[in-house]
Chains A and B, each alone.
Chain A
Amino acid sequence: EVQLVESGGGLVKPGGSLRLSCEVSGFTFSNAWMTWVRQAPGKGLEWVGRIKSTADGGAINYAAPVKGRFTISRDDSKNTLYVQMNSLKTEDTAVYYCTTAAESGHLSDWGQGTLVTVSS
């Protein structure tokens, strides 16, 4: 059974930092392309970024609103995906989901999400 479990969310002040983790099981993580998607309270889905598998070069792409502030990484030995979030803004408040990503772009499996609240 495929499982993705996010952790690390919480309350942080504007300008602060937070690192989210996503531990996966049930599939070969090292072969998987992975993404982060977020959803602000009561709003729609917003793509954050994608990392290819190490075998495919590990290239990373980011959405414009987070580029330069967020860093996506992976540790294949721990079956874990990360996103380091710096210089957080109130508009970064959202539930953050990790997902598997196909080359054609669709996101097959989703975690339960972790809530990040940026507020003073």
Chain B
Amino acid sequence: SYELTQPPSVSVSPGQTASITCSGDKLGDKYACWYQQKPGQSPLLVIYQDSKRPSGVPERFSGSNSGNTATLTISGTQAMDEADYYCQAWDINTEVFGGGTKLTVL
């Protein structure tokens, strides 16, 4: 079965750039998307089709996908961005999620 691998945790200082990776076999051949989940809340789509932002998502969120790795980049990270982030891709009639990355802003 297809698997997506994320680092368990990433730390960033306020105002700096955070990068969260998601690795999977030939992931660049699929569409990747990203969700943000804060404690006690439902997930929120922040990037879809590799690099598109839904309406209402701040411009500091961006995405890329090539080769075996998709990357979520948060520029000028703010304290409010502290959350769990999940990547996701579609593979042969199955949605696959990465294990999630806890982003700490300190």
Contacts and interface: CB of A to CB of B under 8 A. Distances in A.
Interface of A: 35, 37, 44-47, 50, 61, 63-64, 97, 101-102, 104-108, 110-113
Contacts of B95: 35, 37, 47, 50, 101, 105, 107
Nearest to B43: A110
Contacts of A110: 42-44
Nearest to B89: A105
A85 to B, nearest CB: 18
Interface in B79-106: 84, 86, 88-90, 93-100
Given A47-B97, A106-B31, A106-B49, A64 B42 contact: no
Contact of A44 (B45, B89, B100): B100
B54 interface: yes
A61 B61 CA distance: 31
A107 B54 contact: no
A46 B42 contact: no
Contact of A111 (B31, B42, B48, B49): B42
